[in-house]
Amino acid sequence: MVPTAMTSFSSGLMRRRESSAQVAAITTAGEAARPEPSQTAEAPQMAEATQTAGEAARPEASQTDEIIRAISSDGFVSITAISSRGLTERARCIHGSSPVVTAALGRTLAAASIIGSSMKKEGASLTVRINGGGPAGSIIAVSDHEGNVRGYVQNPTADVPSIRPGKLDVGGVVGKTGMLSIIRDFGEGEPYTGAAELVSGEIAEDFAAYFAYSEQVPTVCALGVLVARDRTVAAAGGYIAQLLPGAPDDAIDIIERNVAAAGHVTGILDGSSVDALVDAVMVGLSPRVIERRSVEYRCSCSRERVLSAIAGIDKAEYEDMRQKGEPVEVTCQFCDTVYLFDVSELGDKDSSLRSK
């Protein structure tokens, strides 16, 4: 079995100096002024309201990201909700993403955190991969078992015209001809992989469809990212509510009614804690919070992991690097940490592979 970190690295998630400089240049060029503030995938009247709110001073409550899990009093409905403004803004800073890509990545990170936090096992990790065929390219989010996440987008500065002022076209930049896959790695045995075709590329719908199709669990998912006029993340979060086996037929009706009445995620979160999401979706179901923890953007890279990733590259390329004798610089694409290695640290490829 291949550890998750290695899987990520071997999927081209590490880049060397040249390409990182290139990315930085593109980022700078992409900083063009954007005339409109940006609201994601939320109905127009609400988008107006949340945009206005997003321009106001931010409450301190939004500084700490938090995830909570609650269950209805009858035990048939569970919900996990997240406020993720901080980690989404961190992702935006690392990747220099355009507003529409920030929204796409932020939604994916929120969902990955919600699902990852349900893996109880220490050392477990969850990888979400979305390949929609759109200008953003692949989106990857990885969560640890506590819901701490990191993410990566192939083309962070990709952009598409907004559907209308204030409504970012997330489905347009992600694309919808492809798959959403989820890999759960419990650190032992084969990782469990599930996949489903994308529905709209709007992310929340795609996760709901994934659970219905791939895991046969009736699921309601809502995700939102509000990007302010200056491109920073003003609010972000979401929830996944699921019916547990034996749930009465009307349970999903209650949830759907509540969701429709609740309005948009970023509107509910604005100035409120993550509890407001649970309260809104679980009206009439007497929810009880059973778990609460703070989450953050967190990368698990290290010199050792990067070194073993280097040892895994093509043999000819590896030997070429050693023969040149120049220091090798590698930047982690999840967090932008730069690792510098002396060529003597690389060692003989065959022996380094053996010693892994």
User: Quick check: 332 binds Zn ion (CB under 5 A)?
Assistant: yes
Q: Closest approach of Cβ 335 to Zn ion, in Å? A: 3
Instruction: Please say whether the dihedral angle defined by the alpha carbons of residues 27, 37, 274 and 221, taken in this order, is positive or negative.
Output: negative
Q: Which is nearer to Zn ion, 268 or 306 (CB)?
A: 306
Of 163, 335, 343, 353, the residue at the interface with Zn ion (CB under 5 A) is 335
Candidate segments 11-19, 131-139, 154-162, 294-302, binder of Zn ion by CB under 5 A? 294-302
Q: Which is nearer to Zn ion, 158 or 332 (CB)?
A: 332
Candidate segments 92-100, 161-169, 247-255, 295-303, binder of Zn ion by CB under 5 A? 295-303
Candidate segments 44-52, 76-84, 234-242, 327-335, binder of Zn ion by CB under 5 A? 327-335
Q: Which is nearer to Zn ion, 210 or 334 (CB)?
A: 334
Q: Closest approach of Cβ 321 to Zn ion, in Å? A: 21
Q: Which is nearer to Zn ion, 109 or 277 (CB)?
A: 109
Q: What is the 3-state secondary structure (H, E, C) of the chain?
A: CCCHHHHHHHHHHEEEHHHHHHHHHHHHHCCCCCCCCEEECCCHHHHHHHHHHHHCCCCHHHHCCEEEEEECCCCCEEEEEEECHHHHHHHHHHHCCCHHHHHHHHHHHHHHHHHHCCCCCCCCEEEEEEECCCCCCCEEEEEECCCCEEEEECCCCCCCCCCECCEECHHHHHCCCCEEEEEEECCCCCCEEEEEECCCCCCHHHHHHHHHHHCCCCEEEEEEEEECCCCCEEEEEEEEEEECCCCCCHHHHHHHHHHHHHCCHHHHHCCCCCHHHHHHHCCCCCCEEEEEEECCECCCCCHHHHHHHHHCCCHHHHHHHHHHCCCEEEEECCCCCEEEECHHHHCCHHHHHHCC
Q: Closest approach of Cβ 88 to Zn ion, in Å? A: 17
Q: Closest approach of Cβ 82 to Zn ion, in Å? A: 21
Q: Which is nearer to Zn ion, 289 or 299 (CB)?
A: 299
Interaction with Zn ion in 139-198: which residues (CB under 5 A)? Answer: none
User: Quick check: 334 binds Zn ion (CB under 5 A)?
Assistant: yes
Q: Closest approach of Cβ 132 to Zn ion, in Å? A: 25
Of 240, 285, 301, 306, the residue at the interface with Zn ion (CB under 5 A) is 301
Q: Which is nearer to Zn ion, 64 or 337 (CB)?
A: 337
User: Quick check: 6 binds Zn ion (CB under 5 A)?
Assistant: no
Of 299, 313, 343, 346, the residue at the interface with Zn ion (CB under 5 A) is 299
Residues that bind Zn ion (CB under 5 A): 299, 301, 332, 334-335, 337
